[in-house]
A and B are shown apart, each in its own frame.
Chain A
Amino acid sequence: MTEKGKKLDIVQVLLNYGLIIALCIIIVIVSISTENFLTVRNIINILRQVAPTGIMALGVVAVIVAGHMDLSISSTVTMSGVVCVSYVKYLQADVKGICLALLTGAGIGLLNGAIIANITSKKGRKGESFIITYGMQAAIAAAALLYTNGIYMNLQEKSLHSFFGKGYVPIIIFVLTTVILEYVMKCTPFGQSIYYIGSNEAAARMSGINVKRNTMIIFTISGFFAAVAGVVLTSRVGAASSTSGNGLELDAIAAVVVGGTALSGGKGGVMKTVLGVIVMGVLSNALRLLNIDTYPQMMIRGVIIILAVLLDVFATQFKAKGGAKA
């Protein structure tokens, strides 16, 4: 192998595994500066903290790979949370509450999917999903306000519902959803079709994929996962309010993109997203453990997101170049 070839390899490794390397660097630096970072308790804490956003990110990654966007997931988390907690608190009907919450989420997702799939099939106006789900976000947020009348619902009693946020349960749910989605996206024809739809919808349609139906299913998955996140989140904090999901959609989407899934669609995946979720979670935890002031903290988080996207873009470009030479 020539000198140049070796150099190319190193660069390629750096670019391909950049995020994992960055994660390791963060872990090493923080472990040296603070003694409590690399402890079992803190690691479990981090996993518990990222579980709700992580589950949301898993739902939305399917949407993003298909070349769409779902901003409504934050309101879905809120709505499913208040539906669930209202049943738990006032009627002691945990099972009913949780089932209804999940159905609500899937329903909101299906509604998104139905609208977007029909628009996309007409003249392929794909970008509309961004603004349609934004509208849905506002509408569902208002519905949650109407439903609760703005009341803060605090749960005091232990119940079946509180089990989902305690101990290892949120982590197990996160792992389970990861495994299921990874299987669906990698090993089923439906999962493959998501990638085809994302990279070239017209071609996907011509090759016989039912784009409309699959788009609807993808959004339903996203809504359903957001509802699971809503149940886990409300169980974890033992309360629900009409604002509890606010802002979480961007945390989830940022984790997806940091993991290396392209917003243009057709590229990315479940395991990458899990890595993105963990990087963002470890980073937030590290910044808090180092007790860095608020504004620098926000700035560092912003810069890391931008760097992660740049890294991914360079890696893709580099690979394309290398492929051309070979």
Chain B
Amino acid sequence: MRKRTSSTVKKMISMILAVLMIAGLMGCGASPATQQNAEEASTQETAEPAESSAVEESTAGSEETSGQTKIFFTNAILTAPYCALQLDAMQQYATANNIDLQVADGKEDAQTQLDQIKNAVTQGVDGIIYFPGDEASTIPVVRYLDESGVPFIVLNSKVDESVRDLVPSYVGSDYEEMGKMAGELALDALGDEGGNIVIINGLSGTEVANSTTKGFMDVIGTNSNIEILADQPADWDTAKAMTIMEDYITTFGDKIDLVFAVDSGMTKGAAQALENAGLWGEIPVVCSDQGQFVLDAIANGEMKGTAKQDAVDEGNLAMETIMKLVNGEAVETWEIVPTEMLTVDNIEGLKGY
């Protein structure tokens, strides 16, 4: 009996200690990242009051918002750094144009987003911005939005093909165009004599990887002296990209004239492998998104350029488009987020992620 009691106590103490240890570590560990992410954190804080005020408004029916257009925004991945930047821009746009923007975190769940949208429709909003998660789960959400009669747009990622016709307007990047920018950078770097390219690609089968590569290939194809030595996926992972680059160096050595890494994180991996081999700066690397690593590398003169994919632009375009719809103006079925070549001359003030 006594033995049992003591073992139970021991057991409990050990559990409590373990929990405390983790909690303590997370508590004290939170400081450095939190400090630096103060900006992002503040964005989220402002997001929450907007959400709760939506509820208050519906019950109180306050008069002060009567002149405002009410826009409801649900985002499946609100906490992603790209989205934090975007939300910030949208809220600034809303304040400047006297719009009541209500924000909800979709928590990567289509059902949550559907419930949020239903609530918003019941409360009465003038327009809805829907930032979806994965493609397949968008079907019921788009169907409901279509039946509700409230003007809506889809932001950032395409919805499932079967319901795409029901969407009045989609606001998002043209990845093929961005791939073309990277292709032009490669053409410039290699010149007429051409050369050999190795590609570090994103996750096979995703729209971003496929479209970006297609755009890149189309442009590269104009110079018959350019050859693709290899094209392997690193699944958007820095460590995998580094391993692949190391093996490219082993296999092809000084035959490599240029590296194309599809996103910023993989560019970092390639850069790290090149640096260890003493080749960073010798072999040009091109990329096709606006991550912080790439922006820094352009500012330092280590990279020539990249394609613009600006969260702020995307947020502003979303707000403009939904307002046009609400006001009955014509919109494109695909409002393409403008992209352009970013070089050291025009990256001033841009925010990466």
The answer to the question of A236 belonging to the interface, with a C-beta cut-off of 8 Å to chain B, is: yes
Enumerate A137-185 residues with CB–CB distance to B below 8 Å. 143, 145, 147-154, 156, 166
Which of A152, A166, A246, A294 interacts with B204 by CB under 8 Å? A294
How many residue pairs between the two chains, A and B, have CB atoms under 8 Å in the bound complex?
143
The answer to the question of A244 belonging to the interface, with a C-beta cut-off of 8 Å to chain B, is: yes
A103-B15 in contact given A34-B251, A45-B246, A149-B41 (Cβ < 8 Å): no
Q: How far is the CB of B297 from chain A (nearest CB, A)?
A: 10
Q: How far is the CB of A199 from chain B (nearest CB, A)?
A: 24
B-binding segment of A8-16, A21-29, A57-65, A110-118: A110-118
The answer to the question of B35 belonging to the interface, with a C-beta cut-off of 8 Å to chain A, is: yes
Residue of A nearest to B23 (CB): A107
**Which residues of chain A are within 8 angstroms of B40 by Cβ–Cβ distance?**
149, 151
Say whether B251 contacts A289, CB under 8 Å: yes
B-binding segment of A80-88, A200-208, A255-263, A311-319: A80-88
A156-B296 in contact given A86-B32, A110-B21, A294-B232 (Cβ < 8 Å): yes
Q: How far is the CB of A79 from chain B (nearest CB, A)?
A: 9
- A103 CA to B25 CA in the complex, in Å? 8
Say whether B251 contacts A83, CB under 8 Å: no
Say whether B239 contacts A233, CB under 8 Å: yes
Say whether A107 contacts B296, CB under 8 Å: no
**Which residues of chain B are within 8 angstroms of A233 by Cβ–Cβ distance?**
239
The answer to the question of B269 belonging to the interface, with a C-beta cut-off of 8 Å to chain A, is: yes
Which of B33, B243, B250, B268 interacts with A41 by CB under 8 Å? B250
Say whether B250 contacts A42, CB under 8 Å: yes
The answer to the question of B292 belonging to the interface, with a C-beta cut-off of 8 Å to chain A, is: yes
Residue of A nearest to B229 (CB): A291
The answer to the question of B194 belonging to the interface, with a C-beta cut-off of 8 Å to chain A, is: no
The answer to the question of A100 belonging to the interface, with a C-beta cut-off of 8 Å to chain B, is: yes
Say whether B250 contacts A36, CB under 8 Å: yes
**Which residues of chain A are within 8 angstroms of B247 by Cβ–Cβ distance?**
45, 285, 288-289
Which of A108, A149, A289 interacts with B81 by CB under 8 Å? A149
Say whether B239 contacts A288, CB under 8 Å: no
The answer to the question of B276 belonging to the interface, with a C-beta cut-off of 8 Å to chain A, is: yes
A149-B25 in contact given A36-B251, A111-B19, A294-B204 (Cβ < 8 Å): no
Say whether A118 contacts B353, CB under 8 Å: no
Say whether A83 contacts B79, CB under 8 Å: no
**Which residues of chain B are within 8 angstroms of A108 by Cβ–Cβ distance?**
22
**Which residues of chain B are within 8 angstroms of A87 by Cβ–Cβ distance?**
32
A288-B268 in contact given A83-B25, A147-B26 (Cβ < 8 Å): no
**Which residues of chain B are within 8 angstroms of A41 by Cβ–Cβ distance?**
250
Give the size category of A's interface with B: 35 or more
**Which residues of chain A are within 8 angstroms of B238 by Cβ–Cβ distance?**
237, 239, 241, 244
Which of B29, B204, B246 interacts with A86 by CB under 8 Å? B29
The answer to the question of B84 belonging to the interface, with a C-beta cut-off of 8 Å to chain A, is: yes
- A284 CA to B41 CA in the complex, in Å? 41
When each residue 84-113 of chain A gets 1 if its CB lies under 8 Å from chain B and 0 otherwise, what string results? Answer: 001101110000000010011001101101
Say whether B242 contacts A151, CB under 8 Å: no
Say whether A288 contacts B296, CB under 8 Å: no
> 22 A-B contacts, Cβ less than 8 Å apart?
A36-B250, A36-B253, A86-B33, A100-B25, A100-B28, A103-B25, A111-B18, A113-B18, A114-B14, A152-B265, A152-B353, A153-B33, A236-B239, A237-B239, A244-B237, A246-B237, A285-B247, A288-B232, A288-B244, A289-B247, A291-B251, A294-B233
Nearest 3 CB-CB pairings of A with B: A90-B32, A107-B21, A111-B18
Known contacts A86-B29, A107-B21; 14 further A-B pairs (Cβ under 8 A): A36-B251, A36-B253, A100-B29, A103-B21, A110-B17, A111-B22, A114-B15, A118-B15, A149-B33, A149-B84, A150-B80, A152-B264, A154-B292, A294-B232
Taking Cβ atoms with an 8 Å cutoff, the residues of A that contact B are 34, 36-37, 39, 41-42, 45, 48-49, 52, 82-83, 86-87, 89-91, 100, 103-104, 107-108, 110-111, 113-115, 118, 143, 145, 147-154, 156, 166, 212, 216, 233, 236-239, 241, 243-244, 246-247, 284-285, 288-289, 291, 294-295
